[in-house]
């Protein structure tokens, strides 16, 4: 029954108690943090309380300066701008953020999301918009692999700015006007895992900053310790020069702003105003200068009403798109998502379309990463899966309740159709899987089907990966075109984009992430592709990679499983990719009151018992094990702690008979 490898980290109890004194956090919270590599007070505090004002400067992106100046030029000259988006929630939120920003600044902007054309830019669509006078195209959440299409756009006299977060092609970037993507080799942006909406937010933020009074003006930060002075010269948020300064030889009035460790001077033609800037002393004067800069940035963030309004108006969409795209919820993504969820929970009424979704599908529940993943993202993604992504975009963009209501009704119908399509595709692909694959021996499962509608292939592939623990590629053939469109989902350690790149001579196009990608191929080349990708997987995937590993945060006693523990863990939210819901181990339990539940009779409800205590639990997909769970047997279990109508319950993840 239990075939997975459980990995439990050792925790130094003496060190744990030291951290508890220093941070004031509960023991169980610190155990989880330590198991995940947060082993200093600074790292723990930064994770638990991320600070919005310490988000990375957007001008750290390669080509960001070039991109926003070109967009600003288009706005000022009233050139027609086309935003070209991907069809999923990440693409739709990316589109909304950039579209609203450009509209706010007075730009002439239109948008497009592909339906039947497939992923990414389409030459046919480019033909349409060049006829409509589009001069500048900005891609969001797509474009990094559109080498041919961008060449074609160039030939039409259009310029393309690529904003994306996908892996760039290994044989070179497209010849765009510029490329803003944290994953390009030459980009020095510190955090590489932003979603497309995160990149779009950064572009919009930088664009807004070009209208600020200190854009393209040098700022000097001075740390003074008696005769010693250390200076940082900052341009558009980036330190461009630093070192010791001789004040007697420096004309301070040429700088837009001068900051010292105790006073900030605003220099304008020699007229100086002062205000206090507080900074903690550091061991050396250079660190002191950087601490002053940090405090200055904090004050600027808190006092710049224009940028604060921009932040509040868009960060909720970054949270929505980032969670939906399953990017790692650590580092900058954690800050963005945590901030966005706070705004959504405070007041989502400004988003009329989202309001309808929240009220219909959440029914008063807290808006969290979990509720977005389970309840909100599937609804919005249904439009793109059914070839009508524009409905979801119109819903989010709607600026009155009447229009939002009409789009919501249409979206609900599309979601209902999506569920029916998904059930049929799962049934058909499962039949073909047994005919076309050796499930035991093949390290990658490649299945091709005809006569199926597109839209849910990625969902089906994801379910198969969970079931078989192997990478999966599913094709749907279009006999008229002679082509098949595929969706790939992979496992940890096997880079599916890199594998596809080794077969690119067989493919029409492909692109995506390490663990999720799409591709198009001629039907006649599928068998050769299957043979080659299987060989690549055979050489690359070990038995250890296929065997599922579960990282356990810590062991608990049954007396530890209570509402207080659940409350202590909420400071670690939002949970998601790379910051999963904590997994705990409980040893030597027995099961009572076992019953099968669910419409499909696949799940179990039971009570977990030990030392005279019992706690209700559910075990999803475990009905097939019911005969193994005798009342007198002892088990070790892995579980999450959840609330069900304000009562604690366990979500059992795995079981081992003792």
The Cα–Cα gap between 606 and 623 comes to 11
The Cα–Cα gap between 418 and 456 comes to 7
Structure confidence at residue 294 as a pLDDT band (50, 70, 90): confident
Residue pointed to by tokens 């366990």: 650
CB 637 within 8 A of CB 654: yes
Predicted confidence at residue 455, as pLDDT, reads 81
Which tokens go with 270? 């020699």
Mean pLDDT, rounded, for 611-625: 92
The Cα–Cα gap between 67 and 59 comes to 10
Does residue 75 carry a pLDDT above 80?
yes
Which is more confident, 453 or 209? 209
Mean pLDDT, rounded, for 517-539: 94
- At 640 the three-state DSSP class reads strand
Predicted confidence at residue 117, as pLDDT, reads 66
pLDDT in tens, 94-133: 999 999 999 999 999 999 998 766 677 899 999 999 999 9
Counted residue by residue, the chain has a size of 658
pLDDT in tens, 357-374: 999 999 888 999 999 999
Does residue 268 carry a pLDDT above 50?
no
Predicted confidence at residue 269, as pLDDT, reads 36
The Cα–Cα gap between 145 and 452 comes to 27
The Cα–Cα gap between 465 and 471 comes to 6
Structure confidence at residue 153 as a pLDDT band (50, 70, 90): very high
Smallest Cα–Cα separation from 436: which of 490, 462, 473, 402? 473
Residue pointed to by tokens 């899966």: 385
Does residue 628 carry a pLDDT above 90?
no
The secondary structure of residue 567, as a DSSP letter, is H
Which is more confident, 398 or 220? 398
Beta bridge partners of 256: none
Query: Which helix (H) or strand (E) is 97 found in, with range?
Result: helix 89-104
Mean pLDDT, rounded, for 459-482: 91
- At 221 the three-state DSSP class reads strand
CB 295 within 8 A of CB 278: yes
pLDDT in tens, 168-212: 988 889 999 999 999 999 999 999 999 999 999 999 999 999 998
pLDDT in tens, 211-256: 988 899 888 888 877 667 788 888 998 999 898 876 554 555 444 4
Does residue 304 carry a pLDDT above 80?
yes
Please state the pTM of the whole predicted model: 0.87
pLDDT in tens, 414-431: 999 998 988 899 999 999
Which is more confident, 549 or 591? 591
Helix ranges restricted to H, 437-473: 457-468
Does residue 273 carry a pLDDT above 60?
no
Predicted confidence at residue 123, as pLDDT, reads 92
Does residue 257 carry a pLDDT above 70?
no
The Cα–Cα gap between 200 and 194 comes to 10
Does residue 77 carry a pLDDT above 50?
yes
Does residue 406 carry a pLDDT above 90?
yes
Structure confidence at residue 258 as a pLDDT band (50, 70, 90): low
Q: What's CA 525's distance to the chain center, in Å?
A: 34
Instruction: Tell how strand 159-163 and strand 264-268 pair up.
Output: unpaired
Dihedral of alpha carbons 329, 330, 336, 338, sign: positive
Mean pLDDT, rounded, for 538-548: 80
**Residues 6+ away with beta carbon under 8 Å from 430:** none
Mean pLDDT, rounded, for 342-355: 92
């Amino acid at each position: 029954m239990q075939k997975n490898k459980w990995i439990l980290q050792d925790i130094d109890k003496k060190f744990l108690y030291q951290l508890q004194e220093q941070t004031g956090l509960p023991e169980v919270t610190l155990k989880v943090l330590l198991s995940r590599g947060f082993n200093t007070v600074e790292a723990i505090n930064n994770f638990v309380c991320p600070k919005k004002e310490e988000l990375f400067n957007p001008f750290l992106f390669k080509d960001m300066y070039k991109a926003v100046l070109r967009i600003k030029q288009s706005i000022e000259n009233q050139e027609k701008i086309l935003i070209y988006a991907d069809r999923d929630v990440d693409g739709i939120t990316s589109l909304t953020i950039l579209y609203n920003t450009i509209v706010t600044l007075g730009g002439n902007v239109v948008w497009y999301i592909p339906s039947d054309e497939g992923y990414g830019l389409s030459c046919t669509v480019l033909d349409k918009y060049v006829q409509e006078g589009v001069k500048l195209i900005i891609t969001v959440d797509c474009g990094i692999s559109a080498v041919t299409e961008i060449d074609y756009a160039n030939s039409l006299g259009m310029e393309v700015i690529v904003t994306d977060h996908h892996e760039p092609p290994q044989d070179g970037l497209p010849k765009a006007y510029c490329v803003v993507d944290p994953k390009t080799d030459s980009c020095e942006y510190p955090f590489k895992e932003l979603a497309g909406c995160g990149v779009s937010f950064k572009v919009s933020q930088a664009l807004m900053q070009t209208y600020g009074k200190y854009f393209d003006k040098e700022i000097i930060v001075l740390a003074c310790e008696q005769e010693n002075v250390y200076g940082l010269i900052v341009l558009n948020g980036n330190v461009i020069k630093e070192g010791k300064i001789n004040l007697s030889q420096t004309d301070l009035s040429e700088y837009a702003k001068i900051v010292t460790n105790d006073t900030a001077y605003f220099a304008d033609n020699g007229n100086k105003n002062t205000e206090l800037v507080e900074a903690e002393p550091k061991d050396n004067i250079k660190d002191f200068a950087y601490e002053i800069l940090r405090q200055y940035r904090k004050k600027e963030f808190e006092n710049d009403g224009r940028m604060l309004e921009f932040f509040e108006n868009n960060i909720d969409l970054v949270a929505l798109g980032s969670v939906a795209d399953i990017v790692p919820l650590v580092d900058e993504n954690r800050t963005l998502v945590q901030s966005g969820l706070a705004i959504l929970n405070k007041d989502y009424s400004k988003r009329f379309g989202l309001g309808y979704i929240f009220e219909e599908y959440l029914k008063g529940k807290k808006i969290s990463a979990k509720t977005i993943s389970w309840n909100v993202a599937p609804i919005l993604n249904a439009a793109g899966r059914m070839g009508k992504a524009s409905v979801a975009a119109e819903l989010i963009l709607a600026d009155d309740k009447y229009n939002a209501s009409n789009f919501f009704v249409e979206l609900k119908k599309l979601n209902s159709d999506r569920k029916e399509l998904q059930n049929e595709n799962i049934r058909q692909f499962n039949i073909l899987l047994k005919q076309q694959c050796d499930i035991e021996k093949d390290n990658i499962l490649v299945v091709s089907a005809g006569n199926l509608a597109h839209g849910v292939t990625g969902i089906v592939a994801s379910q198969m990966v969970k079931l078989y623990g192997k990478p999966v590629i599913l094709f749907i053939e279009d006999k008229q075109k002679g082509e098949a469109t595929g969706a790939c989902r992979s496992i940890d350690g096997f880079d599916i984009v890199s594998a596809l790149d080794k077969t690119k001579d067989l493919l029409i196009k492909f692109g995506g992430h390490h663990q999720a990608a799409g591709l198009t191929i001629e039907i006649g080349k599928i068998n050769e592709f299957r043979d080659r990708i299987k060989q690549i997987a055979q050489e690359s995937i070990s038995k250890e990679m296929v065997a599922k590993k579960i990282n356990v945060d810590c062991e608990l006693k049954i007396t530890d499983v209570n509402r207080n523990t659940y409350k202590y863990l909420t400071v670690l939210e939002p949970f998601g990719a790379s910051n999963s819901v904590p997994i705990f181990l409980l040893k030597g339990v027995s099961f009572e009151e076992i019953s099968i539940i669910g419409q499909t009779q696949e799940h179990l409800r039971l009570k977990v018992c030990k030392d005279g205590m019992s706690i209700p639990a559910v075990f999803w997909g475990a009905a097939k094990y019911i005969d193994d769970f005798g009342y007198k047997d002892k088990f070790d279990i892995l579980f999450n702690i959840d609330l069900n109508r304000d009562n604690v319950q366990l979500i059992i993840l795995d079981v081992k008979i003792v």
